[in-house]
Amino acid sequence: MVKTIKGTTPKQDGFFMPGEYAPQEKIWMIWPERRDNWRNGAKPAQAAFKQVAIAISEFTSVTMVASREQFQNCRMQLPEEITVIEMSTDDAWMRDVGPSFLINGEGERRAVDWHFNAWGGLVDGLYFPWDQDDLVAQKVCEVSETPRYRTSNFILEGGAFHVDGEGTVLTTEMCLLSHGRNPHLTKDEVEIYLKNYLNVEKVLWLKDGVDPEETTGHVDDIACFIRPGEVACLYTEDTMHPFYEIAQATYRELLEMTDAKGRQLKVHKICCPKQAVTIPEGIEIDLVEGTLPRVPGDICIASYLNFLITNEGVLVPQYRDAHDALACEQIQTLFPDKKVVGVDTLEVVYGGGNIHCITQQQPKI
Amino acid sequence: MVKTIKGTTPKQDGFFMPGEYAPQEKIWMIWPERRDNWRNGAKPAQAAFKQVAIAISEFTSVTMVASREQFQNCRMQLPEEITVIEMSTDDAWMRDVGPSFLINGEGERRAVDWHFNAWGGLVDGLYFPWDQDDLVAQKVCEVSETPRYRTSNFILEGGAFHVDGEGTVLTTEMCLLSHGRNPHLTKDEVEIYLKNYLNVEKVLWLKDGVDPEETTGHVDDIACFIRPGEVACLYTEDTMHPFYEIAQATYRELLEMTDAKGRQLKVHKICCPKQAVTIPEGIEIDLVEGTLPRVPGDICIASYLNFLITNEGVLVPQYRDAHDALACEQIQTLFPDKKVVGVDTLEVVYGGGNIHCITQQQPKI
């Protein structure tokens, strides 16, 4: 079996990335352990990741990868139905370092292994080095026996875009045109990469995301496809909310968009947490030169949009906030055939992301 | 899926280890890298392991596991049809650290995860620590989604026994009754473990192996089943050969044995290398307290019996010796329906084993 496809693109070979709502074989995750990002030796984060994995496994098989050092602990912490495989990483964001799986119409699976540079490399990346993270997609492909396309020098993370599975990709200019990723490419050239590797016809460009300093505006905190032709969007009318301006702008931008099939997008509002979530006092993380500090009072990127759609379930972040239940209700309305499950992921958002950021779906073939 | 079976044994559950000649799904191997065991930075050994893997892959799929440090090099050295998966180990002996796979008659697969202590632990083991080696069987089971039995405190390596798949296990007293393994158990108690975990009826005890100092007499250098009721045995009439006495004794012992089905064993002679293979001059290995030194002139455990039976092929060690071709001819006669392939594995024997020691078969179900 050829493992690395050379000389062709997914578009040429008839492979495309299905929407997250397409049938899934399994969900991949990474066990967190960085003590300079996750507080208190990563123990609270591990407990939260465990709850996310257990919640997913009600609907879909989960494979958790863990370092040599954490393999035994991870294996013993998790229920046996969750598979645990040794794998080195630089942190725990499987959405961004894992492969973007593709399918064709004929029962075959491939994947794109994007270049990864920790969300901005030496310009504004979040840590150094990122060499083990950049190998994760290849290693996942080896374990899952998935042939992969490796982009030549195109930097991208899985959380930077959403596809509808019918020819459309949704992304942000703030992220994909950032100085830390592909400054050698024009906007048109970036579009060509997306079209060739995701096999889409149309790129929908939002302007900004809510976190200019971490992921530089990943779309998966502000909007996503819930089915072809329909998107969910973060929304608030609270002018004091830190996400107010981006939420309003994103909502207006989405209302104007049509997808690759010519459908005007139907846009569904999802509330923001009522209170801004902030880094608490007493956060004990290792201090290391060059990594992003976590200072008490800093605003966290706490969005309900960072949910995961997985087979018959939808896993929604919960922040011990007055709007937690409302968010679940709103999302449940969008997925009448699925079970919405909220998971307390405050400890995940303290580390810089949420359920969507720490998962990657492998589609069923 | 239950991953660790508790409270029952394979015998109770109807699982048994098939003979090596039963149909195989894949062969597992470990990429060598220890610079205190493999000369010249393990580069010659890696080249030899690569040739073994390529030779096997003509008949059976191969999965090579490699450390974080060697993953990229291993992946790029090997042809793409060989799968490469990250896994930490303490050395490269998959036969001894990997799981012993079991099947039942109903299309299911399980495995035994023996305790491993580097062939003798703190008494006469070959290195310290061996914690990563002892996790290999579990990790292989996770990747292959195989439920495992973990023995409570019973030390054993896969190279210490051969099964015929019809109720018989062949082993040596030198190894299984050694002080470094299970000194708390009597011979009868060891038999009970073998019978319960391999699901056999009869244990055939040879007295000694050819390497009292390394594996303490693994059987897989002196004899093996070639099919139920028939064994191959190392043999020489050269009274000056270092293996002469053991070869003669083993041959005589085997002639007297009957298997679990009551068949008297048919014993086939396999020649020894004409010249004793010795550690050459100019061997450059890192010096580390507590590991076995490799001194020029030391006799290597160079046996043609350390071959691997794999689907339509048999892989036979070659030592650049005058008897290499004869050994292949003798083994070919024993396997008229398989293709015998010799592989130059001098660099493997310099490290203490050969093709059988560095492989582990996963049976087809």
Q: Which domains are present in chain B? A: 10-363 (3.75.10.10)
User: For B96-140, how does the pLDDT look when each residue is reduced to its tens digit (9 = 90+)?
Assistant: 999 999 999 899 999 999 999 999 999 999 999 999 999 999 999
Give CA–CA dist B355/B349, Å, rounded: 9
CB contact under 8 A, A2 and B80: yes
Q: Which of A208, A102, A94, A201 is nearest to A157 (CA)?
A: A94
CB contact under 8 A, A85 and B135: no
Look at residue A324 and give its three-state secondary structure. Answer: helix
Confidence band for B67, pLDDT divided at 50, 70 and 90: very high
Q: Which of A177, A185, A182 is nearest to A208 (CA)?
A: A177
State the CB neighbour count (10 A cutoff) for residue A210: 25
User: For B195-236, how does the pLDDT look when each residue is reduced to its tens digit (9 = 90+)?
Assistant: 999 999 999 999 999 999 999 999 999 999 999 999 999 999
Give me the pLDDT at residue B105, please: 87
Look at residue B150 and give its three-state secondary structure. Answer: strand
Give me the pLDDT at residue A124, please: 93
CB contact under 8 A, A80 and B135: no
For residue B118, with 0-12 CB atoms within 10 Å meaning exposed, 13-18 middle and 19 or more buried, which class applies? buried
Residue type, B266: K
**How remote is the C-alpha of B49 from its chain's centroid?**
14
Would you state the torsion angle of the CA atoms of residues A32, A34, A37, A41, taken in this order, to the nearest 10 degrees? 90
Chains A & B: contacts with CB separation below 8 Å? 48
HSE-CB of A13 using CA atoms within 13 angstroms: 23
Look at residue B198 and give its three-state secondary structure. Answer: helix
The segments of chain A whose pLDDT lies below 50 read none
Give me the pLDDT at residue B193, please: 97
- Give B43→chain A minimum CA distance, Å: 23
Give me the pLDDT at residue A289, please: 80
Give me the pLDDT at residue A1, please: 66
B231, B268 in Cβ contact below 8 A? Answer: yes
- Give A127→chain B minimum CA distance, Å: 19
Q: Among residues of chain B, what percentage have pLDDT more than 90? A: 93
Q: Which of B296, B306, B342, B297 is nearest to B321 (CA)?
A: B342
A88, A135 in Cβ contact below 8 A? Answer: yes
Question: Which residue on chain A is closest to B78 by alpha carbon?
Answer: A3
Q: Which of B28, B2, B22, B10 is nearest to B359 (CA)?
A: B28
Give me the pLDDT at residue A2, please: 73
Helix (H) or strand (E) holding A28: strand A24-30
Tokens of B19: 């003979």
Chain B residues with CB under 8 Å of a chain A CB are 1-4, 68, 71-72, 75, 80-81, 83-88, 132, 135, 138-139, 142-143, 145
CB contact under 8 A, B143 and A4: no
Give CA–CA dist B319/B339, Å, rounded: 19
HSE-CB of A236 using CA atoms within 13 angstroms: 23
In this prediction the ipTM stands at 0.94
Considering only CB atoms, which chain B residues are within 8 Å of A132? 68
Tokens of B174: 């030198």
A30, A94 in Cβ contact below 8 A? Answer: yes
Considering only CB atoms, which chain B residues are within 8 Å of A142? 75, 83-85
Confidence band for B289, pLDDT divided at 50, 70 and 90: confident
Nearest residue, CB atoms, A1 vs list B71, B81, B87? B81
Considering only CB atoms, which chain A residues are within 8 Å of B110? none
B101, B146 in Cβ contact below 8 A? Answer: yes
Is B357 part of the annotated catalytic residue set? Answer: yes
- Chosen from A82, A142, A149 to mutate, greatest number of chain B CBs within 10 A: A142
The mean pLDDT value of chain B amounts to: 96
Give CA–CA dist B51/A75, Å, rounded: 34
Residue B247 above 80 pLDDT?
yes
Give CA–CA dist A211/A96, Å, rounded: 15
Confidence band for B284, pLDDT divided at 50, 70 and 90: confident
CB contact under 8 A, B83 and A145: yes
Helix (H) or strand (E) holding B151: strand B148-155
Longest dimension (CA), chain B: 56
Q: Which of A200, A207, A206 is nearest to A169 (CA)?
A: A200
Q: What is the pTM of this model?
A: 0.96
